[in-house]
Amino acid sequence: MKEVESLKTPVWMQRIEYIANPVGYWERAYRADPDAFWAKGIDFGCPLMVFYTPEAAQEIIENRNGHLSTTSFDSELKAIFGDSSFFTLEGIRHQQMRKLLIPMLQGKHIQAYGQLICNLVNDVMQIVPAHQPFSVLEVAQDISMQVMIKLLFGSYHQERYQQIKYLMVEMVSLFAANIAGIPLFFRFLQRDLGSISPWRKFLQQRQQIKELIYREIAERRARLDLKWEDLLTLLMSATDEKGNALSDEELLGQVLSLLFTGNESTAASIAWSWYRVYCDAEIKARLLAELNSLGNSADPLDIIRLPYLSAVCNETLRMYPVTMFMIPRLVKAATKINGRRVDSGVLITVGTYLIHQREDIYPDPKIFNPERFLDSRFSPYEFLPFGGGIRSCIGGELALYQLKLALATVVSHYQLELTNHRLVSPQRRNTILIPRRLKMTKHTAL
């Protein structure tokens, strides 16, 4: 049985390469072995074994022999979300939390937010100065954060929500740059080293957010109105099979998780979609023609069903998946994955980015080609931008909904232009890939 090998460079060098150049790190691993490798540059307390074939993805996600379990590894996720988030829970409690949350983030619940999302995109775009370069990622972050604030809290206590928004953006941005992000990658730096240390600032910001959210929860418990349709109200009114409601700590964990994941990954996807559409005049013209076919004041539900819009968004998520790899699984008993031996106690994961770059699945994978999603159907083990199985992204449907409507609204109503047409390379920001220096200019409205 073939063993999984690691890269030949020292672990400390792999660590630096993963932080500074994650795409290069992944692609070097793929050249060394087209199926799997030991990712010793990614620290979850022990080396991480990464598989990136559809066959391995299916085995890991389905876990038919029961040898794999989810794990709440000690990581930056706990530092941000705490112990009660659906991200950091495991086992039965994790499954219960997912069961409670998923109906709130899918189907009719999110469809009701369609016009709200379109309106928020317009609100943000209208205040972007005309004829001046703007940061696409910052505008996309503003859109995605405004959407999540609205969905979570509604319009109650607007000033408090803007404080939460500001602190959340600051906290996330603190660890976005490679240097500032080091405390999240090296645990010995995850300590308070004085007033100027990034870790102290992070802890202070997180405490401020906690106090604001706890204050909101306390006031709502005193005057809970079940007619409100925001996510926090739904969470507060929900109960498990035994009739138990969520505690304040559990509510905090879910709110922080939704704010963080609903902002970072969705903002990156929105920014990448704008970049790719405005890079190619033919793609933009075809997309605009499809959108115009719906006429003025199109229903958001009709917009999201458009085939070419869907293909553009799927191709965006293929090239720049929400996460570079799935949340790891812990091997409970020695097993084999795709013919490779894996020992007990090992952490394994699916390399989403590398599967999406496989030429045997996606010919010319470096070329942005929406038509591939019109001409072919891909299995959930070949195209998995939101992961898969019991650790898949619970907000994936909402994220795709936002991505489609944000792209459609901008292409339909605004004349944008790339500031320059140089290739924008993906850069790491926490666990996602972003177009860090992408700038565009807004001209007159269409």
Tokens representing 11 are: 């672990």
Residue with tokens 């600051």: 170
Least confident span in 3-7, 136-140, 436-440: 3-7
- Of 345 and 179, the one with more pLDDT: 345
- DSSP assignment of 274-286, as one string? HHHHHH-HHHHHH
Mean pLDDT calculated for residue range 275-300: 93
Top-confidence range, 149-158, 304-313, 412-421: 304-313
Q: Above 90 in pLDDT, residue 45? A: no
**Contact criterion met (CB below 8 Å) for 315 and 372:** yes
pLDDT tens profile 230-247: 888 888 887 777 777 888
What is the structure's pLDDT at 41?
76
Residue of 92, 122, 188 lying closest to 411 (CA atoms): 122
Amino acid at 15: R
User: Where does the pLDDT of residue 272 fall: very low under 50, low under 70, confident under 90, or very high at 90 and above?
Assistant: very high
What is the structure's pLDDT at 257?
83
CA distance 74 to 12: 20
DSSP class of residue 129 equals P
| pTM listed for this prediction | 0.90
What is the structure's pLDDT at 178?
39
By three-state DSSP, how is residue 442 classified?
strand
Least confident span in 65-74, 290-299, 386-395: 65-74
What is the structure's pLDDT at 180?
39
Query: Is 393 annotated for ligand binding?
Result: yes
Q: How far apart are the first and last CA of the chain?
A: 61
CA distance 42 to 60: 19
CA distance 14 to 182: 14
User: Where does the pLDDT of residue 379 fall: very low under 50, low under 70, confident under 90, or very high at 90 and above?
Assistant: very high
Mean pLDDT calculated for residue range 137-145: 92
Q: Above 90 in pLDDT, residue 367? A: yes
User: Where does the pLDDT of residue 205 fall: very low under 50, low under 70, confident under 90, or very high at 90 and above?
Assistant: confident
Q: Which residues of 289-299 are buried (b: 16+ CB within 10 A; e: fewer)?
A: ebbeeeeeebe
Q: Report the relative pairing of strands 347-350 and 48-51 from DSSP bridges.
A: parallel
DSSP class of residue 367 equals S
Tokens representing 267 are: 């903002």
What is the number of H-type helices and E-type strands within the chain?
19, 12
Q: For the chain, list the domains and their CATH numbers.
A: 11-445 (1.10.630.10)
